[in-house]
Structure 1
């Protein structure tokens, strides 16, 4: 927007789209707390300057973090270059905003930024969703890293990242072609945070051992690999070595990797039922290597909602990320100790 934005300002509708709030909300904040544009055009149209927008951006961040609106408005004016007004409304009953104590359980909150989060989600989901709708990349990164640091990777994934990702997906499905950019930006930052988890949390040391790694692969045609990235990050923090092959792995490439690495386990991720392949799981489970008389096979773990009891058959299944980490960590420890578990078939 450049100089034209600085001179002419933005309309209320443009600011609302940028922040992920409704124009009615902006007008309400102007009427109640004085967080409105100073510039008016000749036709008495409201025009928001960069400073005006900075104030309401801060208001969005504070309310998403749980601040009462009146207190958030006061802080937003003070921290974003605005001047507090003597006539500003005060919180009822002397209410003030306090940040959560370290280690305290997160508050539960409703939907944020117009996303269908539902009523029983962590407060962090609300702030994360508002930042995603605003396309506020720095805020997304900060909130995701804070969630991992405060709750650990597994809880951050299952109770913060996944509910927000699902809410964006539902919004996209119900809004035609809208919100595609929101889902892409959020997914990118979730993926980046997962890859950087070892820099935020201290991973367990990987033992020097001849035990094979855990191979992680999406089935052929499966492009949805964020959950597999979460598993890879969680296993790395648990000290379990992995080989991540990512999305839509061709059968030949998967077999070559298994033969070359001699893994303790192979995880086959399928998000959709059409991507789950029982013949592939059975084929991988039957691969052998090693000397005659002491040949070894991998332990195969089908994972993801695409695998149900019928498609998974006798293969084990996990109820979620925490369960998968426990199962694979145990398998790796047994492999490390020379007690390879028997596969159920």
Structure 2
């Protein structure tokens, strides 16, 4: 594997690997003149041991000696770790190596490496695949650990969420088609978890679909005003939990009308997030399950390019 691929797998930066090689001689066992360095499975195993030891608080020099075969650190490496940075901190299950690297960096609170790994995943896999196979599994693992460990892992979740949000906001949307009504996306009142619809907003932008994202905990009155002012083709409401999901609010939003008398339009309402029940609380309402399938629903409801928005008289429907 290349240095960059190994760095992504382990959740460290390439600069860190080069520093370890320079200071502690923990580098590729074999090199071929005139070619880039390549790490063998044995090389990577030594690096994984060093990462586990340093996460447990072992000084880097001692961790390197243990990884290269020294006795003192090796004994410590076999002991199970209970520290937040230990090897069992985030039980991820069967996931991609990039996911494990991202989780290790998050547990170490290594913000620069988290940012670097997120950028690499988004660039190499695209937003939808990176979200489904790298970002979301890591978020879920952090959430499970936080739920079972009191307040010990809140800082990990906050740092990871902030870095993910920042990476999503750096994705530049395509120019919007003229006179095209937007998709309106918001969290229901009291809902603070907005990352999934931030990802949806970024994915819509990549496709040139106009979107208006209002973030976490939008008050009901402000939501109603935004719908009337924008005349959206679809409204997407996110609810993470049953305590924040509000069927009455969904019904009221689905019933909002705009436009001239005789040519009134209403939005299609899409309910996203695990907080909503399986049954739609209002007509013209649909449940969304996942980023990829949600985008497909939205694109299937998109109007022809020649159509106009509420100001031009043609109704729209849209969803996430």
Instruction: Give the conservation status (yes or no) of the 8 Å contact 2:232–2:316.
Output: no
Q: Once structures 1 and 2 are overlaid, which stretch shifts more, 315-324 or 125-134?
A: 315-324
Count of matched residue pairs: 257
Quote the residue 1:181 is aligned against: 155
> Is the 8 Å Cα contact of residues 234 and 317 (structure 2) preserved in structure 1?
no
3-state SS of 2:274 partner = coil
Counterparts in 2 of 1:291 and 1:280: CA distance versus 1, 3 Å: same
Which residue, out of 303, 307, 310, partners 1:337? 307
Match of 2:103 among 122, 126, 129: 129
Q: 1:180-202: CA deviations, max 9, x gaps?
A: 1111110100110111122xxxx
1:326 paired residue among 296, 307, 315: 296
User: Distance in 2 between the 1:282 and 1:313 partners?
Assistant: 5
> Is residue 249 of structure 1 aligned with residue 193 of structure 2?
no
Q: Deviations over 1:137-195 (max 9, x none)?
A: 11000000000001110111111111101111111122222121111110100110111
TM-score by length of 2: 0.71
In structure 2, the residue corresponding to 1:317 is in which secondary structure? strand
1:65 has 2:6 as partner: no
User: Is the alpha carbon distance of 1:82 and 1:118 closer, same or farther for their aligned partners in structure 2, counting shifts above 3 Å?
Assistant: closer
**Distance in structure 2 (CA, Å) of the matches to 1:112 and 1:293:** 65
Structure 2 alignment gaps of length 5 or more: 31-38, 44-84, 309-313
Runs of 4+ in structure 1 deviating by more than 6 angstroms, as ranges, are none
Compared CA separation, residues 331 and 311, structure 1 to 2 (3 A): closer
- Matching residue of 2:248: 279
Distance 2:17 2:222 in 1: 58
How far off is 1:340 after superposition? 4.4
How big is the shift at 1:131?
0.4
Q: Do 2:165 and 2:195's aligned partners in 1 also have CA atoms closer than 8 Å?
A: yes
Structure 1: 5+ residue stretches without partners: 1-58, 68-72, 100-110
TM-score, normalization: structure 1? 0.66
Partner residue of 2:24 out of 82, 91, 101: 82
> In 1, Cα distance between the equivalents of 2:174 and 2:17?
45
Secondary structure (helix, strand or coil) at the match of 1:192 reads helix
1:170 to 140, 144, 147: 144
Alignment of 1:47-58 (within 5 A): none
Query: SS of the residue aligned with 2:213?
Result: strand
What CA deviation, in whole Å up to 9, does each residue of 1:73-109 have, x standing for no partner? 9966424x33469xx989xxxx82599xxxxxxxxxx
Secondary structure of the residue aligned to 2:191 is: coil
- Alpha-carbon offset, residue 333 of structure 1: 3.1
8 Å contact from structure 1 (residues 117, 167) kept in 2: yes
Query: Cα 1:176–1:89, aligned 2, differ >3 Å: closer, same or farther?
Result: same
1:206 pairs with 2:206:
no
Q: Which of 296, 303, 315 lines up with 2:265 in the alignment?
A: 296
How far has the Cα of 1:281 moved from its partner? Answer: 1.2
1:316 aligned partner: 286
Q: Is the 8 A contact 2:90 2:103 kept in 1?
A: no
Residues in 2 aligned to 1:145 and 1:302: alpha-carbon distance in whole angstroms: 29
Contact 2:233-2:317 within 8 A present in 1 as well: no
Q: Which has the higher contact order (CA 8 A, sep 6+)?
A: 2
Kept in 2: contact 1:117–1:164 (CA 8 A): no
Q: In the alignment, what sits opposite 1:153?
A: 127
Q: What's the RMSD between the two structures over aligned residues?
A: 3.3
Residue 40 (structure 2) pairs with residue 96 (structure 1): yes
Q: Matched residues in 1 for 2:101 and 2:121: separation?
A: 11
Give the structure 2 partner of residue 116 of structure 1.
90
Q: Is the 8 A contact 2:233 2:316 kept in 1?
A: no
The residue matched to 1:309 in structure 2 has which SS? coil
How far apart are residue 342 of structure 1 and its match? 7.2
